């Protein structure tokens, strides 16, 4: 059988291993830990910056939304005001147009009445002229011959028939 060596603790080996561990720790710290920590800090700063930019963009979007809503409410109020103004203007224009139409209608009626009066006077004048003309013709016929009652009655009937025409 084989015998196992006794486990012994060698201080020099432990110091040597400890020194190797310390050197390895210092090398890892200098060449790996600091650059990795720096890279992680840069990443964290970039992420923080992105969060800050996102928060700023969110705040700007909210302020833009409030501004848009204010403008929209002002636009609605302005539109209502314009509509009210247009309605009032249309009503005013309507009453103006109606007044002008009434004036024109009254003018047309006055003109028609004046024309009717003129036509009536012309018709009366024409009738008078015809009566005078008929009277002149009758007087001429009467003067041509002596009239008796039968002739007189025939002339009146003839005159009345001519007036009817």
pLDDT of amino acid 4: 60
What range does the domain containing 136 cover? 32-164
Q: Is residue 134 domain-resident?
A: yes
Q: Taking 70 as the threshold, does the pLDDT of residue 142 lie above it? A: no
Rounded Cα gap, residues 61 and 162, in angstroms: 102
In percent, how much of the chain has pLDDT > 90? 47
Residue 1's pLDDT is 54
Residue 165 has pLDDT above 60, yes or no: no
**pTM (predicted TM-score):** 0.38
Q: What is the mean pLDDT of the chain?
A: 86
pLDDT at 149 (0 to 100): 75
10, part of any domain: no
- Decide: 134 and 163 in contact? Cβ < 8 Å: yes
Does 112 map to a domain? yes
User: From CA 73, how far away is CA 134, in angstroms rounded?
Assistant: 89
Structural contact between residues 125 and 142, judged by C-beta atoms closer than 8 angstroms: no
Structural domain tally of the chain? 1
The SS3 of residue 70 is helix
For residue 71, being part of any structural domain is answered with yes
What is the arithmetic mean of pLDDT over 130-156?
A: 72
DSSP string, 104-141: HHHHHHHHHHHHHHHHHHHHHHHHHHHHHHHHHHHHHH
pLDDT single digits (tens) 56-107: 999 999 999 999 999 988 888 888 899 999 999 999 999 999 999 999 999 9
Percent of the chain whose predicted confidence (pLDDT) is above 70: 90
Is 12 within the bounds of a domain?
no
Asked whether residue 54 is domain-assigned, the answer is yes
Asked, for residue 61, whether it belongs to a domain, the answer is: yes
Least confident residue range of 19-23, 76-80, 159-163? 159-163
> CA 7 from chain center: how many Å?
101
100 in any annotated domain: yes
């Amino acid at each position: 059988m084989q015998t196992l060596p006794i486990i012994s603790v060698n201080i020099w080996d432990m110091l040597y291993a400890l020194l190797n561990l310390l050197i390895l720790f210092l090398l890892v710290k200098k060449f790996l830990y600091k650059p990795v920590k720096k890279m992680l800090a840069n990443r964290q700063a970039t992420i923080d910056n992105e969060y800050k930019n996102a928060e700023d963009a969110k705040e700007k979007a909210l302020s833009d939304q409030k501004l848009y809503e204010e403008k929209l409410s002002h636009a609605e109020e302005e539109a209502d005001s314009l509509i009210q103004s247009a309605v009032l203007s249309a009503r005013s224009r309507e009453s103006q147009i109606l007044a002008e139409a009434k004036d024109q209608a009254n003018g047309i009626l006055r003109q028609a009445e004046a024309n009717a009066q003129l036509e009536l006077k012309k018709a009366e004048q024409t009738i008078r002229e015809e009566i005078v003309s008929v009277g002149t013709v009758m007087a001429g016929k009467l003067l041509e011959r002596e009239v008796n009652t039968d002739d007189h009655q025939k002339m009146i009937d003839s005159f009345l028939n001519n007036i009817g025409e």
